[in-house]
């Protein structure tokens, strides 16, 4: 079943009399529970697309349907509800609050999600039960990204949106974090959308979407994606 549908989506940025079509007539659907990778050169429109799906921005025209609901015309309050209930975010630089402990960073989601999963359980699942009371600065990059995965999943969203989730990590740590991210997303039945420049990550995806100049260049389903261990990193 399709959980996401983009229909003729455009996003135009204007500056003076100059118009930039960051997204230019985007059409695609995503099925629930899939691992989707979005690839494309710098400036192609990947982050703009992810921001639309994340309810951080709205299209200039077109419709975006998520979980049966058109999110393209929501007002700011409705978008905040959408972000709280439907999407979780994992960013390249973790975006943890430096003055809060691991436990406190993850517990914050209980304030915004009605459906949150026990933070301690999620922290244990990412292997950081012994670091509950550490501050982010006391953790390695890989550990900080594991906290941000615990935080994103503790919100119990339908869709996990990840912007270069391994971009700040060395390749060995990146693979471990990616494996964790995928196995947890599968265990919890989440749809996961990853924006990356890393072609290797794409080998593991159920669906690979290539974006160029604000348009979909290709949409490829991979019936037998590789596992992280099969990919040469």
R_g of the chain, CA atoms, integer Å: 17
Closest separation in Å from C-beta 142 to ligand ATP: 22
Query: Site mask, ligand ATP, residues 40-79, x = CB under 6 A?
Result: x-xxxxxxx-------------------------------
198: left (phi over 0), alpha (psi -120 to 50) or beta: beta
* For ligand ATP, the closer CB: 41 or 127: 41
| Residue 166 interacting with ligand ATP (CB under 6 A) | no
Print the SS3 string covering 156-192: CCCEEEEECCCCCCCHHHHHHHHHHHHHHHHHCCCEE
| Nearest-approach distance from CB 42 to ligand ATP, in angstroms | 3
Span of 35-43, 76-84, 138-146, 202-210 interacting with ligand ATP by CB under 6 A: 35-43
CA distances from 74 to 81, 126, 170 (A): 10, 34, 39
User: How many Cβ atoms from other residues are within 10 Å of residue 65's Cβ?
Assistant: 16
Q: Can you tell me the distance from the alpha carbon of 205 to that of 182, in angstroms, rounded to the nearest whole number? A: 10
Among 3, 4, 9, 22, binds ligand ATP (CB under 6 A): 22
Nearer to ligand ATP (CB atom), residue 40 or residue 119:
40
4 or 22: CB nearest ligand ATP? 22
CA triple 180-183-186, angle to 5 deg: 145
Among 2, 20, 97, 129, binds ligand ATP (CB under 6 A): 20
Chain residues that interact with ligand ATP, rule: CB under 6 A: 13, 20, 22, 40, 42-48
């Amino acid at each position: 079943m399709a959980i996401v549908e983009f229909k003729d989506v455009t996003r135009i940025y204007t500056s003076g009399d100059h118009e930039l079509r960051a997204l230019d007539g985007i059409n695609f659907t995503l099925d629930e529970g899939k691992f989707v990778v979005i690839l494309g050169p710098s400036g192609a429109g990947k982050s703009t697309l992810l921001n639309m799906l994340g309810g951080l921005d709205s299209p200039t025209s077109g419709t975006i349907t998520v979980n049966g609901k058109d999110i393209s015309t929501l007002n700011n309050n409705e978008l905040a509800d959408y972000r709280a209930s439907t999407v979780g975010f994992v960013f390249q630089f973790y975006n943890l609050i430096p003055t809060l402990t691991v436990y406190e960073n993850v517990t914050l989601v209980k304030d915004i999600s009605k459906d949150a999963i026990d933070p301690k359980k999620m922290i244990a699942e990412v292997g950081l039960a012994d670091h509950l009371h550490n501050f982010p600065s006391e953790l390695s990059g890989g550990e900080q990204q594991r906290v941000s995965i615990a935080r994103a999943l503790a919100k119990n969203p339908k869709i996990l949106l990840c912007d270069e989730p391994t971009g700040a990590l060395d390749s060995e740590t990146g693979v471990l974090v990616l494996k964790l991210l995928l196995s947890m997303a599968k265990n919890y039945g989440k749809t996961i959308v990853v924006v990356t420049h890393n072609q290797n990550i794409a080998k593991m995806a159920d669906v690979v979407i290539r974006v160029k100049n604000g348009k979909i260049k290709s949409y490829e389903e991979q019936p037998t994606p590789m596992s992280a261990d099969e990919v040469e990193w």
